[in-house]
Amino acid sequence: MEFQKEIEIHAPKEKVWNFIWDVDQFIACVPGCKEAKTLEEGKRYSATMVEKVGPFRVEFPTTIEVLEREDLTRIKAQASGADNKVGSRMKIGLDVHLREQDNKTMLSFVASVDILGKLAALGHGIIKRKADQVLDEFAQSVKKRLEGDS
């Protein structure tokens, strides 16, 4: 599943860039994400993703790896996790771009999400909707945090 999103943030590029690398702040914007840890500064992080669809609950201990980085411009990352209770795995490929436009920063990202295992039985449609919701909430959260205190 592929998702694309572009967020318009009324804040300078540097602020947005620094925000992304502030693990605690960043993680706080991802719904269902908790216990974020820096394993290797700038390179590897861990977090737990908890998501619920009705009675179905998954908890993915996730490892996030930064693959490529272009300061103030671009990040390429990969996240993967497994929930053995539900026999499911999750893989996310993330491509994040920052662009300055007038006085704003355009933060855009492309995410490819793969859910493998039993959870996929819920149906591609339900999972896609959930992922859309999570990304929407994330975008709103990021925007609010960055614009809120300027």
Please count the residues of this chain forming the interface with another protein, following the rule CB under 8 A: 18
Nearer to another protein, 74 or 85 (CB): 85
Nearer to another protein, 54 or 148 (CB): 54
**Residue 67 interacts with another protein (CB under 8 A): yes or no:** no
Nearer to another protein, 37 or 57 (CB): 57
Find the binder of another protein among 69, 89, 118, 143 (CB under 8 A): 118
Query: CB–CB of 134/53 below 8 Å?
Result: no
Compute the distance between CA of residue 24 and CA of residue 15 in angstroms, rounded to an integer. Answer: 15
**Residue 37 interacts with another protein (CB under 8 A): yes or no:** no
**Residue 4 interacts with another protein (CB under 8 A): yes or no:** no
Task: Name every residue whose Cβ is closer than 8 Å to that of residue 98 and which is 6 or more positions away in sequence.
Answer: 13, 16, 17, 72, 73, 74, 105, 106, 107
**Residue 129 interacts with another protein (CB under 8 A): yes or no:** yes
Query: CB–CB of 99/108 below 8 Å?
Result: yes
Compute the distance between CA of residue 106 and CA of residue 134 in angstroms, rounded to an integer. Answer: 19
Site residues, another protein (CB under 8 A): 53-57, 85-87, 118-119, 121-126, 128-129
